[in-house]
Chains A and B, each alone.
Chain A
């Protein structure tokens, strides 16, 4: 039952988690989606979901893990929607990098923009594995838990991603 006392305890907890981790999660989502507005939406939705399900968390210490999974799920959903929309409307390739602002262009530089565009062109699972391993510096085991796949699959997805990036950038890995 959703009680006032429950809300009183979870709202500060969720707000504190949001303050501490949301920026990092938005960055993660930006890498995944290439679009800051969508990234913010996904992260906000994840925290609202955390707020709603707070009382059902078996261990609130795992709230960040739960939220990170929710963000990854949210990114998958957005990417699926983009794919469907692209197919339906005959638009440009759904994995094409999102249009960046002029500021982003300057701040990122050509090298990083090329790299990020290539990362976004990767299949979802490979991109996720890459982001978790190289951006969040998660171990293979942690990545496997977050993605709910086996450790072997993490290894293969990561190495395939590296190879694919090398091909896209015209270089060997």
Chain B
């Protein structure tokens, strides 16, 4: 082999360090095998007879359910407060993180039994309670309010497993943490929110911080990429549709979401306070020209088109490589949005590149090439307002990317994870002002992936 060949190989290999991250691949969401391409025709006559007989009974049950739910929801303790959270020590300072999270009890690709919900202790990872789904159902999604005790989950019928849930009708449940210590438990109440029609994919779900409103983005299962999306806000107490926006068929669906790939995505739509929604969306400027960014949709805006009713709040930069400007956000396979509790900032994780070949100078700078940061972009101005926290990865190793999962009220504490090099290793925990506190991985088995069925889809804080 000649010297030129050696140098050619070395130069090509050097490119490896520059390309670590994948842009999203805009495939249509996976379709349900055997799902109807269009809505089925009339139901059999016998079933219609049963339906007519059952209608008054069902109405009475619904009224009763609403009454019960109203009582339960009205009685959410501290639902309007910020989280009552435990403190952990980070670099000598006490910071608060959520005490609990709710997730599924099995990996996303396990279809052998119904998926249950588990309540876990954030600090220890210990399972505190397991909530089985209603008979014949399997949980597919869960989203949390700000009080750390109120959640909404949805469930579907067979086959089990969150991965096979695309296109199946969802029913909705209020899930609450009750009791403390050894008596802590999850309780479940069926919500009057109407089940989604068969053949509908859940794009994203998000419970408002006060626990009173549920945002559900959905779209029909289809082979087409350009399907119309529906974004609805329901009253948790009554099931009434408070707002309903949609996208026009034939255009790229505005909300990026999990599309049922790994449990119902609870990260692609986030609440901005209790009065607006944020989502990572795509607007199409020209046939092959798209703008990706975080859009804000106020609840005060009347029903209409999703994008037209929204404001592009942050045009997310994704081209940068380092934690210093130009800053590149590391979005997951699908766009996910973390908003600080005060509704001011969109939080994203950046990346840092460290290499043994770098001069030592770069390892000593601050912010340095080997510092990975979580950044906050103002939802008002769209500007990178500040770096919320950073993490020095050391001066040797690989490119590192950071992902945000949860941020506290001001953004001073972020729960997230860092992936190193080939994504085979990572660190999960709380980051604050350059300090890091490791936390147990919140999802079981091989579900800990940063793409396609991501962690975010499966954990509700």
Spell out A's residues near B (CB within 8 Å): 2-9, 11-12, 14-15, 18-19, 22-23, 26-27, 30-31, 36-37, 39-40, 44, 47-48, 51, 101, 103-104, 106-109, 111-112, 115-116, 119, 130-131, 134-135, 162, 165-166, 169, 171, 173
Q: Is the interface of B mostly helix, strand, loop or mixed?
A: loop
Q: Which residues of B contact A (CB under 8 A)?
A: 2-5, 7-23, 25-35, 37, 221-223, 261, 319-322, 333, 353, 355, 357-358, 362, 369, 451-452
Closest Cβ neighbor of B167 among chain A residues = A4
Q: In the complex, given contacts A3-B223, A7-B31, A19-B452, what are 9 additional A-B residue pairs having Cβ atoms less than 8 angstroms apart?
A: A4-B33, A4-B35, A18-B25, A19-B451, A23-B19, A27-B19, A44-B23, A165-B4, A173-B3
How many Å lie between the Cα of A116 and that of B353 in the bound state? 20
CA–CA, A106 to B369, complex, Å?
Answer: 10
| Chain B residues, Cβ within 8 Å of A119 | 8, 11-12
Contacts of B32 in A (CB 8 A): 4, 8
Most buried by A among B9, B12, B16, B30: B12
Task: Give the distance in Å from the alpha carbon of A26 to the alpha carbon of B23 in the complex.
Answer: 10
In the assembled complex, 25 residue pairs joining A and B whose CB atoms fall closer than 8 Å, in A order, are: A11-B28, A11-B30, A11-B31, A14-B25, A14-B27, A27-B18, A36-B19, A44-B25, A44-B26, A103-B321, A103-B353, A104-B18, A107-B358, A108-B11, A111-B7, A112-B10, A112-B14, A115-B10, A116-B11, A116-B14, A119-B12, A134-B8, A135-B12, A169-B4, A171-B4
Question: What 3 pairs between A and B have smallest CB-CB spacing?
Answer: A115-B11, A4-B31, A135-B12
Q: What's the Cα separation between A18 and B451 when bound, in Å?
A: 11
Q: Given contacts A103-B353, A108-B14, are A2 and B223 in contact (CB under 8 A)?
A: yes
| CA–CA, A31 and B320, complex, Å | 19
Q: Are A134 and B353 within 8 A (Cβ)?
A: no
Name the residue of chain B whose CB is nearest to the CB of A130. Answer: B8
Known: A4-B32, A112-B14, A173-B2. A37 touches B319 (CB 8 A): yes
